[in-house]
Structure formats: C-alpha cells, structure tokens
Amino acid sequence: MEKIRLGRTNLEVTRISFGALPIQRCTMEEAGTVLHAALDAGINFVDTARAYTDSEVKIGRHISSRRSEYYLATKSFARDSAGMAKEIDISLANMCTDYIDLYQIHNLQKPEDFATIMAPGGALEALKAAQAAGKIGHIGVTGHSIPMVTEAAKTGEFSTVQVPFNFIETQALEELFPLAKRMDIGMIAMKPLGGGQVRSYGLALKYLLEQGDAVAIPGMDEVAHITENLAVAKNFTPLTAAEKQILADEAKELGSNFCRRCGYCKPCTVGIDIPIVLLWHLQYTRYGLKESMGSRYAGLKAKASDCTQCGVCEERCPYDLPIRERMKRVTADMG
C-alpha cells in the first residue's frame, strides 16, 4: 500500500491507517484478531488514546510483540505537566513499549486550555521532557475545533495535526491544511467516514485519497472493515463526475450538524447510549429503516424519552450538537 511522509516527523505511514477507537467495543479476543489483521494487511500506523477505555491495553496485549512493524500514536486530555507526565507513563505501560512515536494533545477545544498547555507547568512541558528522555518521538495536537488547532499549529511546537476531514467536513482545507503544508506539519484525518454515518464509504475514502496529503485513520473493529477500506487504496481511481454527485447528494442529505459517534457525550446521567440512539434515529428517519431500527430501539433499556434534559452531554460534545432537542425529536418519532 502507498505510504506518505507524515510531515517533519519523517514517518512514512500508510495512506489508510488504523483508528483504534472502535476496538474498545471488541472483546479482548476480537480486538486481537482485528489488530493482527491490520498489520498483516500492511497497515503501519496505529492511532489510539488514553480516553478510549481499554484500547491501549488491547494494543499492548496483542501486537506489542510486533512493535517494529508499526508506528504508534496516542493522546491524552491532560492539560498540566504533572498530569501529562503520568499519562505518558501509563500509555507506555498499557502498550508494553518503551517508546511512542507520536504523543498528542487530545481534543484542543478551549482557549483557556490552550493557554494552560503552553504555559510553564503545562502539558507541553511534560511532552518535551518525555521527548528528551526518549519516551516519545514527536508531539502532535488533535481537535474538533479547526480554529483552535490552527492556532496551535501556528506556534510551531507541534509536528502533526489531527482533525475531522471528509467530503462533508472540509473546513481544514481553508486555512489549516495549507498552513500545515507550508510548515511541514503532518496531517491526520480523523472521522474520514463521518464517524460511521456515511453510506458511500468507498467514495468517501476516494475523496480523501484524492486530496493527496492527509493520512486517513478510519475506525475499524472488524476484519471486513480492513479489507473494504484497503481495497479502495489498492484499486484507487479518481472520482468520476457521477461519483462526485453521489457524495454531493449525501452531504446535502446529512448536513454538517450530525453525530460523529465520538462518544465524548458519554456517560449519560440516566444511561442513554446517545450516539447509538442518534444513529438509529437517522437510519429510521432518513434511510427508511423503520422496522429494523424501531425494533432495535424498542429493546433499549434507556430510551430518549428517559432524558432529563440535564445538559451534561451538550457540555461535553465537541460539535455543540443540540442533544436535548434531538432527544425530544427521537421521542416524538420512536417513542
């Protein structure tokens, strides 16, 4: 599979690499099967996070013995130096390695957090110390707020940026990616398939590959996902006019205000699986799957109708979705 240079890290990574968020939904055994299949297929870049429950542990358990075959990236929500130093050591222990190729600031969203990270005693201080000690190779930043990640990139302190990028969410093309190219910053595209909401997944990956500069990290928790995703790269052909129209129609249908299933809204105070409820509602209303989605929804222990309108989920959502209003809409449509 084609590889691309990840900016000034000089890491040569596969154009379609492995997003490890979904393997937290796998059993330990299932995760091992998927991880080994990814490496066997030639994927050489694995991206995870401290926040992805046991994702790091599964990586360490199953593929640490193959450490020379892949570059490893993780990230942490820690904003201060002491917290970040602790997180780095936990990541190293979890993944049974003494070296992490890329350690990232996770989900930079607020100016006040950015100020804390960059100030003396902030997370960047710990990352640089870990880099000097040989624990990590490069420092990156991730986020769903393109403006905040752009401001971080301008400092010159980060070797990579990771943001949502797909045929619907193209804001990174306006300033961030051109800036990254000029500064030789590696570009990583999270949510290349809209967090699993996109139907035309093959065309969505073709769109991203056509851009030519960003590494895509679709989440994969089944061997079939690996096969399907890599087939697009191995048999790549430019999008035709008809295929571009299919994507344009789907983008119009979905809009930009949809749930990407990142899971940051969880846990709900009353146990509602918010991403699943919103996904099933989308399939129920827009894709006509009323019978199958209706029966699945009926089996949930906590439904949208149980929402107390507390608003905790909305405070966590990086996309500022009106989740409480969505819960009312789901209740009206599905009960």
Give whole-number Cα distances, 111 to 139, 155, 177, 239, in Å. 19, 14, 20, 38
CA distance 212 to 222: 26
For residues 220 and 163, membership in a common domain is answered with: yes
For residues 214 and 322, membership in a common domain is answered with: no
In a domain, 255, yes or no: no
In a domain, 268, yes or no: no
- pLDDT score at 54: 95
For residues 66 and 23, membership in a common domain is answered with: yes
- pLDDT score at 146: 93
For residues 191 and 89, membership in a common domain is answered with: yes
For residues 220 and 79, membership in a common domain is answered with: yes
The answer to whether the CB of 144 falls within 8 A of the CB of 106 is: no
For residues 213 and 162, membership in a common domain is answered with: yes
Token pair in block for residue 89: 């050591």
Give whole-number Cα distances, 194 to 99, 119, 256, in Å. 31, 34, 10
pTM across the whole model = 0.86
Bridge-based pairing state of the strands 3-5 and 186-190: unpaired
In a domain, 250, yes or no: no
Domain total in the chain? 2
As beta bridge partners, residue 161 has 141, 187
In a domain, 72, yes or no: yes
Pick the last residue of a domain from 196, 229, 244. Answer: 244
Buried b (16+ CB within 10 A) or exposed e, 180-199: beeeebbbbbbbbbbbbbbe
Domain that holds residue 37: 3-244
Pick the last residue of a domain from 244, 261, 290. Answer: 244
Residuewise pLDDT in 10s, the chain (335 residues): 889 999 999 999 999 999 999 898 899 999 999 999 999 999 999 999 999 999 999 999 999 999 999 999 999 999 999 999 999 999 999 999 999 999 999 999 899 999 999 999 999 999 999 999 999 999 999 998 999 999 999 999 999 999 999 999 899 999 999 999 999 999 999 989 887 778 898 999 999 999 878 999 999 999 999 999 999 998 899 999 999 999 999 988 877 777 877 888 999 999 999 988 988 887 788 767 788 889 889 999 999 999 999 999 999 998 889 999 999 999 999 99
- pLDDT score at 287: 62
Pick the last residue of a domain from 244, 265, 288. Answer: 244
Nearest CA-CA partner of 136 in 50, 62, 71: 71
For residues 229 and 296, membership in a common domain is answered with: no
For residues 194 and 141, membership in a common domain is answered with: yes
The answer to whether the CB of 278 falls within 8 A of the CB of 304 is: no
For residues 209 and 326, membership in a common domain is answered with: no
In a domain, 267, yes or no: no
In a domain, 190, yes or no: yes
The answer to whether the CB of 255 falls within 8 A of the CB of 169 is: no
Amino acid, res. 195: G
Return the residue matching tokens 């079939």: 224
For residues 286 and 219, membership in a common domain is answered with: no
* 211 C-beta neighbours (distance < 10 Å), count: 16
In a domain, 77, yes or no: yes
Q: Which helix (H) or strand (E) holds 291?
A: helix 290-298
For residues 234 and 295, membership in a common domain is answered with: no
Sorted by sequence, the CB contacts under 8 Å of residue 325 that are 6+ apart come out as: none
In a domain, 251, yes or no: no
Find the CATH number of the domain harbouring 139: 3.20.20.100
Tell me the residue length of the chain: 335
For residues 232 and 286, membership in a common domain is answered with: no
